[in-house]
Amino acid sequence: MMFINQGIRQLRQYPEGTSDYAIQRVFLIFAKDYPRKLLDELKKIVEVDYCASYRELTDVADLVTFIAARRGKKRLIKQLDIFSHGLVHSIEFGYDVGESWQIRYGMNQACMLAPLAFDDDATIFSYACRTGLGHDIGTKLDPGEDPRYEESLAQIMADAGDVEVRAFPRRSNYDETYGTREELIAAKKTLPKIDEYRREVEAYHRQMAAYRKRTVALGKGPMNEIPGEPPPKAPVRPYTDREFQLAEHMKKRGNYESAADIGLPLDPLGATKSARMKKRTAALIVVMVLAAFALSWTVSGGSAMNEKIMMRVSEDEPLFDATQWFDNGMYRRIPVGDEDRIYYPEGTLYVDTSMRRISPSPFSDEQVESLQINMVMALRGEIFPADFLPTVPSSVDDIGLGSSFDPRPQTVYLASGFRDYGDDKPKIPVDYYTFYTLLEGKRFYVLIDRNGETGEILLAYRSYSSHLPKEEEERRFQELQSKVDLQSWLDESGWKKRSGELCPWPGTWECLELPIGKQTFAHNMPFPKVNAQDVTWRFVSSTC
């Protein structure tokens, strides 16, 4: 499983794919001897969680064909990362598997590497053992012995494909795929702490909502304190960021390993660390250093070996190391768009002030009241000025504390960044959301800052816009308007029947929920569903 999990980690670090396939991420796997249920779950992770393409290969000819086909499809390869066993002059995709020769990538296949399948600045990274070694040196390199890099599989691939290849000249090491021994022990101890801390946070949200209710009841406003009764204190997190990340990885691997139909430690977040070089003797350390210069590696369309991810709190702030937040599977980087390139040095691949959360955390039931309070306060301008048009109507109270309104369906994740709480404190990720609503036919927006780690609402303030793409905003408000119209229709007096009920009177009926046009039904005919959902049918009189 170490190769699959390393592949997921690398997939996560590629740029996001685009709908026009200008950027496409593809996960290839030789499926031989893997359980079908595991492959099905892996396919779902790749396609659903990472919006990438997934393809299973049967033999090495499939890989050769896939690479060669890139030219015809006009989708040139920018970066190819290989995770596998390896021997001198071969990458062993089926090491110790029956008929392994069928999925062995050797010198013959390397000679068939299609040069026109690769972009001008493309790179192949091989994390297989000994891809960069020209002959079998045994356990160590003897003094004066030539490693013959020029005869290695990596050099053959580079010559045939006219592409830069970076590879290890000796054994690669995957033993820290899930963390060091000390980190794994810490992760195991952290798992119960996470559950306990989550319960404490949920209790804190309930206590805080109750406290805010009392301040409102006393006429002091929801953000003031009750004399003699300080607000509840937020619980202190009993583990570090790294311990939390490792524990989340361990929990997800454990879920798959305990599943009867899978039984293997699949990690949907990917490996916690990349593969590295084994270091057994001084002679081989020297070889590794020489190889690092001879095969010098850089970033090209993705992430290179052990690359740090540097971010900023804002454009004017210095860079800081934010690697942990990307390595743990919480966030992915945003490629620099064409319209933003003038703001970045030439060759910059990623935006350094914002990122995208892979799976935004849902707001819990306990946070609904907090959302209600924050939305109304933001729209009323009780914390930040909000006295701009359109004027917020008094009906805003209908969505506030104590109402049945749930703001969550109208709260949309936008992007993420970082917040700085001082030099002595670590920078924390902040997720940005927009809340949109329709009040008396007018549109209103609230922007929300949320702690990316704890889920706590940090700030809410009224905005001039939703910050959503125009088409998406129109679609969402159309749905809200349809709900308003539907409710007014449903509240009107008239002859109405639901799907499945029998038509009591022959004639023309209209569907209130969906715009499908008027329909004619005979007496005692059952009213149909529309798009497999129950709907309301209303009788249309001849005077309509």
> Residue 380: is its pLDDT beyond 80?
yes
Least confident of 138-142, 221-225, 287-291, 499-503: 287-291
Nearest to 116 by CA among 69, 82, 53, 166: 69
> Residue 421: is its pLDDT beyond 60?
yes
pLDDT-derived band of residue 329, with 50, 70 and 90 as boundaries? confident
pLDDT-derived band of residue 405, with 50, 70 and 90 as boundaries? confident
pLDDT at 481: 78
pLDDT at 139: 57
pLDDT by residue (tens digit) across 429-451? 999 999 999 888 889 999 999 99
> Residue 371: is its pLDDT beyond 60?
yes
pLDDT at 137: 67
Least confident of 115-119, 291-295, 306-310, 499-503: 291-295
pLDDT by residue (tens digit) across 446-489? 999 999 988 888 889 999 988 888 888 888 888 787 776 666 66
User: By percentage, how much of the chain surpasses pLDDT 70?
Assistant: 87
Q: How far apart are alpha carbons 541 and 334 in whole angstroms?
A: 56
pLDDT at 469: 87
- Residue with the two structure tokens 């009993």: 238
Nearest to 187 by CA among 289, 272, 73: 272
Q: Model's pTM, two decimal places? A: 0.57
Who has greater pLDDT, 236 or 418? 418
pLDDT by residue (tens digit) across 199-232? 888 888 788 878 877 877 776 655 567 888 888 8
Averaged pLDDT for residues 275-295: 34
Can you state the percent helix, strand and coil of the chain, rounding each to 5?
35, 20, 45
Q: How far apart are alpha carbons 113 and 123 in whole angstroms?
A: 13
pLDDT at 143: 62
Contact residues for 69 (Cβ-Cβ < 8 A; gap 6+): 117
> Residue 56: is its pLDDT beyond 70?
yes
User: By percentage, how much of the chain surpasses pLDDT 90?
Assistant: 12
* Burial (Cβ within 10 Å: 0-12, 13-18, ≥19) of residue 198: middle
pLDDT-derived band of residue 326, with 50, 70 and 90 as boundaries? confident
Number of CB atoms found within 10 A of residue 302's CB = 19
pLDDT-derived band of residue 541, with 50, 70 and 90 as boundaries? low
Mean pLDDT, the chain, rounded, equals 81
> Residue 64: is its pLDDT beyond 60?
yes
pLDDT at 433: 96
Who has greater pLDDT, 544 or 147? 147
Averaged pLDDT for residues 151-155: 89
Bridge-based pairing of strands 442-451 and 428-439 is antiparallel
> Residue 313: is its pLDDT beyond 70?
yes
pLDDT at 480: 81
Q: Phi first, then psi: what are they for 160, rounded to 5°? A: -70, -45
